[in-house]
Amino acid sequence: MGLVRGDRESATLAMQPPGSVQHVLRHPNILYRSLLPEDFVALRAAHVDLFPIDYDDSFFDKAVNGLTRIISYAAVDYSSGSEKLVGFVTARVLPLVEVDPMDRRHMGLDHSSLNGLRVVYILTLGVLPEYQRLGIATKLIDWLEDCAACMGASVVFLHVISYNQAAMLLYQKSCFRCVACMENFYCIRSGRQINPNQTRYDAYLFMKWVGEELHKPGPWEGAIAPFRHAFAQWNACLPWLCRDQLFLAGPTHVAGDSSNPLNAAVREQPSFAHHGIDQNSMFYRLFKRSH
């Protein structure tokens, strides 16, 4: 579809160069709804007008029909009595394990313990020139974030072509963070790019947490994991009464009997903070859960 590494669709807000907006509608009657099959032709025409990248018809078919985990939303102007597609956002829901390893590394999500996370990748976000600067793009982003959170996704991310300053400002205002500049990310040969003689363009990677932000496990997790697992198995093999007495009564005797090795072990358990380990981190929660 798009011209992103691995044949992934590109994500960039379609904004015209400064001075190209001839007329701004001040109070259009805008309705927000899902993209529908009857939007196919208008959606394809808008992409041709707004983006320098050529998309296959199969992309638009998936977008208007919600196929292959694609979610989409539209802004339509109904002031003339019929609906006119004036803005849209398309995105894909996918497990983190399917995200490009380079993107994962830049976002700090490359640890294998995070593979179960669900994320949303913005494919395209565009608003027709005469409807820009009306807050339509912001509303589309807000909808997408709410939708992603409701679907259990943790992160929304996208790529913005390096010359699209308007898009970068928009995402920054929506609290997205720019985490990387990726050289020669886009290869565009449509002839509609800002410089017809240039085919390679850099991209900026933006991301935003929409779920609970998880801390990347430290390098010590791999070393301590076998011991945590072995201890959990040993704990599970204890008779239930003995196990409950050991771990429920233990902390109440920590201060009174430091000579007991069992109490000493219990006393050391809450000392994570003294070693610089965040007690809100994923590792700390997993450790606590195993006990």
Distance, in Å, from the CA atom of 30 to the CA atom of 8, rounded to the nearest integer, reads 31
| 147 pLDDT higher than 90 | yes
Average the pLDDT over 81-91 and give the result. Answer: 95
Q: How confident is the model at residue 217 (pLDDT cuts 50, 70, 90)?
A: low
The helix/strand/coil state of 72 is strand
The mean of the pLDDT values for the chain is 76
Note the pLDDT of residue 202: 97
Residue 138 backbone phi and psi in degrees, to 5? -65, -40
Q: Could you tell me the CA-to-CA distances from 181 to 106, 123, 192 in Å, in that order?
A: 9, 18, 23
State both tokens at 109.
């999500």
| 286 pLDDT higher than 60 | no
Cβ 70 vs Cβ 97: under 8 Å:
no
Question: Domains in the chain, ordered, with CATH?
Answer: 5-209 (3.40.630.30), 221-289 (no CATH)
Note the pLDDT of residue 211: 84
pTM score, whole prediction: 0.68
Taking only the tens place, the pLDDT of each residue in 114-129 is 999 999 999 999 999 9
Average the pLDDT over 170-184 and give the result. Answer: 97
Q: Which of 124, 94, 99 is nearest to 1 (CA)?
A: 124
Distance, in Å, from the CA atom of 281 to the CA atom of 52, rounded to the nearest integer, reads 42
Neighbour-count burial of 167, counting CB atoms closer than 10 A to its CB (0-12 exposed, 13-18 middle, 19+ buried): buried
- Residue 271 CB: number of other CB atoms within 10 A? 9
Distance, in Å, from the CA atom of 94 to the CA atom of 228, rounded to the nearest integer, reads 30
Q: How confident is the model at residue 216 (pLDDT cuts 50, 70, 90)?
A: low
Note the pLDDT of residue 232: 45
Share of the chain above pLDDT 90, in %: 58
Note the pLDDT of residue 10: 47
| 224 pLDDT higher than 90 | no
Buried b / exposed e along 85-107 (16+ C-beta atoms within 10 A): bbbbbbbbbeebeebeeebbebb
Of 46-50, 98-102, 155-159, 250-254, give the lowest mean pLDDT range. 250-254
Residues in contact with 237: Cβ distance below 8 Å, sequence separation at least 6, in sequence order: none
Number of separate helices (H) and strands (E) present in the chain: 9, 8
Share of the chain above pLDDT 70, in %: 64
Cβ 117 vs Cβ 212: under 8 Å:
no
Taking only the tens place, the pLDDT of each residue in 185-212 is 999 999 998 899 999 999 999 999 998 7
For residue 186, what are the β-bridge partners?
201
Taking only the tens place, the pLDDT of each residue in 31-79 is 999 999 999 999 999 999 999 999 999 999 999 999 889 999 999 999 8
Note the pLDDT of residue 68: 87
Distance, in Å, from the CA atom of 174 to the CA atom of 16, rounded to the nearest integer, reads 20
